Amino acid sequence: MTIGTKLQQTLASAQGVKANLKTFALDTQDQQAKNMYNQLAQTMDGVINTLQSRVNYVEQQEPQYKGQ
């Protein structure tokens, strides 16, 4: 497995975590839990942006990894 593939999988997993957190926030009636899930989802935005930047860099440096 190439680094490009691993990065793409990690990015997809991070996006899945964010989606799950947003769902948890919508599903709970507990305001404290809702705030926590929303805060964690925002934190995941930073993780996702960082990973996406790295994916873009790797794809630019090694075009064979693009779209894997």
> pLDDT per residue over 6-59, tens digit each?
999 999 999 999 999 999 999 999 999 999 999 999 999 999 999 999 999 998
Rounded to 5°, angle at Cα 57 from 52 and 63:
115
pLDDT at 68 over 60: no
Band the pLDDT of 3: cuts 50, 70, 90: confident
For the chain, state the CA radius of gyration.
15
